[in-house]
Amino acid sequence: MAEFDLDAYVARSRAVDLSAFHWDDVPRYAVSADSIRTLRYMQDIESHTIIYLRSLLATRAIDDPEVATFLGCWLYEETFHGIALRRFLEAAGHPEGPRPQPRGQEPFLKRIEAAATSMVSRAWADFCAVHMTWGAINELTTLTGYRRLAAVAKHPVLTDLLEQIMLDESRHFYFYYRQAEIRLQRPAVARVARLLVDRFWAPVGSGVQPTRELEFLAGYLFSDVEGLAAARKVDDTIRRLPGFATVQLLEAWMNRHVGGRNGNGHH
Ligand SMILES: [Fe+2]
Ligand SMILES: [Fe+2]
């Protein structure tokens, strides 16, 4: 895998251009209730990025200048993903209502932080490896989720929008993945990172949105043949990281949470 060119990324980092989409055409094509429900979830998670970052800034992850530079641009781009998805929902006649609960803490991240701090004496380098691994999994899952939604929803304006967003998500994934790959070279670090992922990982949005919403989305996007293949591809990509060859992620989670609903599960 080639190096991630941080200078080129920073130079190119920009907001999704909202003027580039044909918002007036949105109501001309049907959007199913299931797609709307999925988009609401995704919109909420994109908007949650700043809260997620708050938790990260409380760790020493930002001591690394490359990571700090990346996170600044990353937050900016993710924020605009939330704005763009909100705009689509409005144009489709489903404006965002008030959020049931104010954005609070990120319980799973807090748990990791506490565990990492107590389990690892050389806390910072190791924690950053976990953070980068976690980020790679989240970004790849998000990217794959958007690709699946575009395929399932078949709405031309949504497809245009998601394609733009996916360009950002693939760059985000690449940054985290390369960082993780480098940091996990040290077997001791890889062992701890793997332990924490095994113990604490759950799909992106867990702890932010109710589990039933996540299960719905997973069933909608990942339970048919193409969806399951996409989920497996995420798992296989993460398994190429040092120390992660046997990690159980999306497919295992699907089997635990969505298995019963999978009516066409050919394996
Ligand atoms: Fe995003
Ligand atoms: Fe992203």
Q: Which pLDDT score, from 0 to 100, does residue 265 have?
A: 42
229 alpha carbon to ligand 2 midpoint, in Å? Answer: 21
Find out whether 251 and 232 touch, Cβ atoms under 8 Å: yes
Q: Which pLDDT score, from 0 to 100, does residue 241 have?
A: 98
267 alpha carbon to ligand 1 midpoint, in Å? Answer: 31
d(CA 208, CA 215): 13
User: Any idea which ligand is nearest the CA of 48?
Assistant: 1
> What three-state secondary structure class fits 135?
helix
Q: Which pLDDT score, from 0 to 100, does residue 114 have?
A: 56
- pTM, two decimals, is 0.89
Q: Taking each helix axis from N to C terminus, what angle separates 156-183 and 187-200, rounded to the nearest 10 degrees?
A: 140
11 alpha carbon to ligand 2 midpoint, in Å? Answer: 17
Strand partners, 206: 209
Q: Taking each helix axis from N to C terminus, what angle separates 123-153 and 156-183, rounded to the nearest 10 degrees?
A: 160
64 alpha carbon to ligand 2 midpoint, in Å? Answer: 19
Q: Which pLDDT score, from 0 to 100, does residue 196 have?
A: 87
User: Any idea which ligand is nearest the CA of 165?
Assistant: 1
233 closest CA partner among 130, 128, 134, 147: 147
**DSSP-assigned states of every residue in 49-96:** HHHHHHHHHTTTGGGSHHHHHHHHHHHHHHHHHHHHHHHHHHHTT---
User: Any idea which ligand is nearest the CA of 74?
Assistant: 2
263 alpha carbon to ligand 1 midpoint, in Å? Answer: 30
Strand partners, 195: none
Q: Which pLDDT score, from 0 to 100, does residue 108 have?
A: 60
205-209: list long-range contacts, CB under 8 Å, 24+ apart.
Answer: 205/41, 205/44, 205/45, 205/48, 206/108, 207/106, 207/107, 207/108, 207/109, 208/44, 208/45, 208/48, 208/103, 208/106, 209/41, 209/44, 209/45
121 alpha carbon to ligand 1 midpoint, in Å? Answer: 33
User: Any idea which ligand is nearest the CA of 135?
Assistant: 2
User: Any idea which ligand is nearest the CA of 15?
Assistant: 1
> What three-state secondary structure class fits 201?
coil
pLDDT of the chain, 267 residues: tens digit per residue = 678 999 999 999 999 999 999 999 999 999 999 999 999 999 999 988 877 776 666 666 667 889 989 999 999 999 999 999 999 999 999 998 777 665 555 566 656 655 555 455 345 567 888 889 999 999 999 999 999 999 999 999 999 999 999 999 999 999 999 999 999 999 999 998 999 899 888 888 777 788 899 999 999 999 999 999 999 999 999 999 999 999 999 999 999 998 755 444 444
User: Any idea which ligand is nearest the CA of 169?
Assistant: 2
